[in-house]
Homo-oligomer: A and B are copies of this chain.
């Protein structure tokens, strides 16, 4: 009832398969292009629909870029967060038991039910980190 029936189609399999073959976050449009390039064409609208379903099912991670694009990526069932490079998009999965606990505590402390949280840490990965001399404007603010 809460889980409407979903038919098994070639398109959905193609999307799921492609997601499984790449470990990076990509926009729906990029996944669409990849599928087309792989000779497994799937309509853009279908890619969007499938990606959303998978996201709801918790089978893909969703990320919003500052530019407003939504990125998707296959994910391990386990809950985790991301450390993302602002330059090249390189990602590292990290988990933070402390954060989970904190979020839950904060929510209940204010009487909020069914807490859920979003945690993203961004920075410049080792490769993109500026070779700036160690005396520049590292000043907080």
Decide: A106 near B94, CB < 8 A? Known: A113-B129, A113-B130: yes
Q: Chain B residues near A20 (CB, 8 Å)?
A: none
Contact B129 A123 (CB under 8 A): no
* Closest Cβ–Cβ distance, residue A93 to chain B (whole Å): 11
Decide: A121 near B113, CB < 8 A? Known: A99-B102, A102-B96: no
Decide: A123 near B119, CB < 8 A? Known: A98-B98, A106-B83: no
* Closest Cβ–Cβ distance, residue A88 to chain B (whole Å): 12
Total chain A interface residues with beta-carbon distance under 8 A: 36
| A110 contacts partner chain B, Cβ-Cβ < 8 Å | yes
Q: Chain B residues near A68 (CB, 8 Å)?
A: 68, 70
Decide: A121 near B129, CB < 8 A? Known: A83-B110, A99-B102, A110-B92: no
Whose C-beta in chain B lies nearest to the C-beta of A117?
Answer: B121
Contact B118 A123 (CB under 8 A): no
What is the interface of chain A, defined by CB distance below 8 A to chain B? Answer: 58, 64, 68, 70, 83, 85-86, 92, 94, 96, 98-99, 102-103, 106-107, 110-126, 129-130, 141
